[in-house]
Amino acid sequence: MPVLPELPECESKIKTFFFDTDSCGLVHNIAYLRFVEIARSELAERLGWPLKEMEKTGLVPVVVKTEIVYKSPARLGDIISIISRLSRIERVRFQIDFELRKESPTGSLLAECRQILACIKLPERKPSPIPLNWAQSYPWLVGKKTENS
């Protein structure tokens, strides 16, 4: 079992490209979901649950709910810094919060996102408990009350 980091968080950096933008040169709202997917995958890897492990064990996360609040626009060529944090653990579900900022001297806040995910076991597609080492490593997150929970 891998040793997990002290804090269940990760920073990802993503550059915006032409295909991320609309006709005004602003990053399109759907691109943020792709950015969050990348950050969530990097966080899972950091927390000892890489894609290869998911494939091997058949335990996979599925998104149940996504909320995004857009604060200011990102533009073509911007570098976006995404802080992703595991913020709540339940028996089968867990929550990850994301903060997306423009990589700049001011670090302006672009968006905040929250995702609720559930673990399922393949091929049965049945709910399954989250990785045991998460609850053991981050007991303060188990059953933690969060906004809208």
Question: How many CB atoms are located within 10 Å of the residue 87 CB?
Answer: 20
**Each residue's pLDDT tens digit, 124-135:** 999 999 877 777
Question: Is the bond preceding 123 in cis, omega lying within 30 degrees of 0?
Answer: yes
Which fold would CATH assign to domain 9-141?
Thiol Ester Dehydrase; Chain A (3.10.129)
**Each residue's pLDDT tens digit, 17-71:** 999 999 999 999 999 999 999 999 999 888 888 888 888 888 899 999 999 999 9
Tell me the domain boundaries of the chain.
Answer: 9-141
Do the Cβ atoms of 35 and 16 come closer than 8 Å? Answer: no
Give the pLDDT of residue 106: 85
End-to-end, the C-alpha distance of the chain in Å comes to 30
Judged on CB neighbours under 10 Å (0-12, 13-18, 19+), 94 is buried
Do the Cβ atoms of 46 and 5 come closer than 8 Å? Answer: yes
